[in-house]
Amino acid sequence: MRNKRRSPTQVNAASEGPKKDEKGSTVLLADEPAKKKWRNWWLRTVTTFMMIGAFFTILASGHLWVILMVIAIQTIVFGEVVLIAQGPAKESQLRWYKTMSWYFFVVAMYFLHGETVIYYFQQIILVDAFLLPFATHHRFISFVLYVIGFVFFVANLQKGLYKRQFAQFGWTHMALILIVVQSHFIVNNILEGLIWFVLPVSLVICNDIFAYVCGFFWGKTQLIQLSPKKTVEGFLGAWICTLVFGFMWVWLLTRFDYMICPVKDLATTAWSAGVCDFKNPVFTSVAYEVPKFLRPAASYFNITKVWIAPIQLHTLIMGCFASLIAPFGGFFASGVKRAFNIKDFGQSIPGHGGMTDRMDCQFIMGLFASIYYQSFIKIHNQSVGAILATIIGGLPLNDQLELLERQLTFFVNQGVLDPSVLEKCGATALTDGARAILGR
């Protein structure tokens, strides 16, 4: 029987898995030898501050760079997830697995991020002669690209390998749903205002840090078998710390228009940001009466009302999700690692593992933040792009020209435009091709 070689990651997992005591139980973080515990502490601390510094540098550089960062992260994560299934694919001699995985990744990126670009930049896309056909037929083009990959997959099915091939096909699509689809919503959060990206990311980071700190000092009770070093004390301590941090942090973020304004120009940076034309009322503080049971203490400081912005109350809900639900994204990733007998998804971040090991909670948190924002916070106003899309997609050319003439007439009557504009932009301004089409 042929000996199967184990991948370096699997060997690493076998040699560096969670330590066991003499009874076979997992050694929790608080019970590890002091030298090893503090060495890991400093390694994680240094790399954490380096990542935070890089994050804020990119954040200040503008919306475009933040979006490119998200796309880069999702690409790295997808690569790590595909890589751990590539070993079994090679052992089964499956053809085209890696190529097809990346093909479907590119198609998914084209479809989802294309939808985002068309929605948020309609006023630019729909008036460009080259981009207009791609925008109006975007979904059909995306469908055709997917069908090409689907047909190629079916055409390459091999007798005796059907089960393995369909397993790899399902694995690729699971990765697309959990990584690319959720990243699409994170990009939408950025374009709605950087705060809807920074806030959920910060809550997860805060929760992760305090779960480690509380578990480091006080963790004694194992939380879940999938992630042996997670403790109940760390889980609950991080929940409380995240709520306190979020309540104060969001107040600071709302002080900057750069954070709360929806994107208008992707080239905007922290140093060139203007003032919002309209601010969502959720950022405006509201006076609340001090609760009766707190009035005796409040009266000592002569406080009768407290001013709280609604966004701070929404942040408490988001903080609960970041603390109680988002960690299950990490537990899910831990289950995947157990299934493939690996310790980490990679070694790209010293002390933390791979990019997937750091981002496993961020994807589901970003999806929740987007849905929560759309459901309870966003104010749905008509935009220039939305009206333009309705005109171009819903009116025939004759009616569009009539609308243009009436709009110009309105501006002339209001004294905004010179009357000569009606002559320059009327029927005499039509090209010969347009006259032939319109019969004028």
| In 156-231, alpha helices (H) | 162-175, 182-192, 195-218
To the nearest whole percent, how much of the chain has pLDDT over 70?
A: 85
Tell me the pLDDT band of 426, cut-offs 50, 70 and 90.
low
Q: What pLDDT, on the 0 to 100 scale, is given for residue 97?
A: 84
Output the pLDDT for position 123: 81
The SS3 of residue 419 is: coil
CA atoms within 13 A on the CB side of 280: 23
* Best-predicted range by mean pLDDT (272-281, 309-318, 371-380): 309-318
Query: Which among 349, 325, 352, 337 is positioned nearest to 227, based on CA atoms?
Result: 337
CB 228 within 8 A of CB 222: yes
Find the angle CA(225)-CA(16)-CA(324) to the nearest 5 degrees.
30
Mean pLDDT of 257-281: 85
157: Cβ contacts below 8 Å, ≥ 6 apart:
165
Averaged pLDDT score across all residues of the chain: 84
Q: Would you say residue 60 has pLDDT above 80?
A: yes
Contact 330, 227 (CB under 8 A): yes
Closest CA to 316 of 259, 246, 238: 246
Over the Cα atoms of the chain, what is R_g? 28
Percent of the chain with pLDDT over 90: 41
The structure tokens 């408490």 sit at: 316
Residue with the bigger pLDDT between 392 and 90: it is: 392
Q: Which amino acid is at 324?
A: L
* Distance between CA atoms of residues 58 and 63, nearest Å: 9
Query: What gap in Å lies between CA 374 and CA 355, rounded to an integer?
Result: 28
| Per-residue pLDDT band at 88 (split at 50, 70, 90) | low
Looking only at the bridges linking them, the beta strands covering 222-224 and 305-308 are: unpaired
pLDDT at 434 exceeding the cut of 70: no
33 has pLDDT over 50: yes
User: Does the pTM of the predicted model rise above 0.85?
Assistant: no
Which range, of 19-23, 168-172, 325-329, 384-388, averages the lowest pLDDT? 19-23
Rounded to whole angstroms, how far apart are CA atoms 172 and 62? Answer: 32
